[in-house]
Amino acid sequence: MAPRVPAAVAKRVRLGSLARAGMGVAVEYTTLGRTGLRVSVAGLGCGGFSRLGLGRGRNEDAAIAVVHAALDHGVTLIDTAAAYRTEDVVGRALAGRREGVVLATKAMVREGGRVLSGAEVVASLEQSLARLRTDRVELFQLHAVLAREYAHVMAEIVPALLRAKAAGKIRHIGLTETAPNDHGHDALARALEDGVWETVMLAFNMMHTNAREVLFPRTRAQGVGTLLMFVVRNVFSQPARLEEEMRGLVAEGKLAAEVAADPLGFLIHAAGASSLTDAAYRFVRHEPGVDVVLFGTSDVGHLRENIASILKPKLPAADLALLRARFGHLVGVGLDGPKVAG
């Protein structure tokens, strides 16, 4: 049976039929774990290096155009955060178009060297709601939580979030990891011992797949929704960055020199992927346990390409087998991002 799509979303997609036809694929939807939310399998991420283009020198009108293009193509999940400094732009973009959108944002749990109180996190939520020009968010996430902070989160912050949820300001709550500082998913593995979290956001890519054993069996069993980040980082989009990473892995004895010489070229062929970015999105999209694949962009053309890749069939079985044989043992590759001191 085809998934039920919110009426507002179906209307947007019908009105945007010309854009959809250019993609040659139909937008797909899924249920985000036990939240019951129907969401597009492709979610627009408003952070990363691009920040809707604001991080690359684009103006706010261009960033709003990216959000509008995502909506026109049937994307229903928009993920932002106070730390991304894109909430105001997202709020402006959603003016008159809020219906049917699953809006997700986040608050940090630390500032400088200290962890925040529950009241401070709720104050961040209130500020986010004001910037987003809305009275509630479908998903509110604690941002980049470290394992060492988790006990404080449960004792001090979660009770405040549950009160905000009861007040109707939050529909569901989730937790995101800080991938560059937690290659083993320690924070999320600890969080899955508690029943409070309805979603988790985690890093998973062609060379960092340990969530396959550490997290996905548990999220699937518990009905915890998953959102993927770090799917396409610089290692897969910049050849020089891939070469640098491969040299480092060879020096560490983690990769054979002959493999590092052309590590991913086998993926590009007529029956396979059209580019490494295409391969990266298709690789994660069909992993059991994955609900939403987040993508970020500063360009409407790239947005269409990214969505199209996410909606393509899985990579050929032989390519998937070779990826696993070559890189299945690697951990922490492609997680370039901010480090947390201490």
Enumerate the domain spans of the chain. Answer: 7-15+29-225+296-301
pLDDT-above-90 percentage for the chain:
88
Residue-wise pLDDT for 25-67, tens only, equals 568 999 999 999 999 999 999 999 899 999 999 999 999 999 9
Tell me the C-alpha distance between 44 and 108, whole Å.
Answer: 20
Rounded distance, CA 180 to CA 229, Å?
Answer: 11
Q: What percent of the chain has pLDDT over 70?
A: 92
pLDDT tens for 311-324 read 999 999 999 999 99
SS3 of 304, please? helix
Radius of gyration, CA atoms only, the chain: 19
Hey, how many other C-beta atoms are within 10 angstroms of the C-beta on 89?
26
pLDDT value at position 244?
96
Segment 162-187 mean pLDDT: 98
pLDDT tens-digit series, residues 119-166: 999 999 999 999 999 999 999 999 999 999 999 999 999 999 999 999
Residue by residue, DSSP assigns 115-151 as EPPHHHHHHHHHHHHHHHT-S-EEEEEEEEE-GGGHH
> For position 113, what pLDDT does the model report?
85
Global confidence as pTM:
0.92
Query: Would you say residue 10 has pLDDT above 80?
Result: no
b/e 192-202 (16+ beta carbons within 10 angstroms → b): beeeebbbbbb
Distance between CA 245 and CA 257 in Å, rounded?
12
Q: Give CA–CA dist 188/195, Å, rounded.
A: 12
Fill in the DSSP letter of residue 273.
B
- Fold adopted by 7-15+29-225+296-301: TIM Barrel (3.20.20)
CA distance 161 to 142: 10
pLDDT for 78-102, tens place per residue? 999 999 999 999 999 999 999 999 9
**pLDDT reading at 171 higher than 90:** yes
Q: Which residues are catalytic?
A: 84
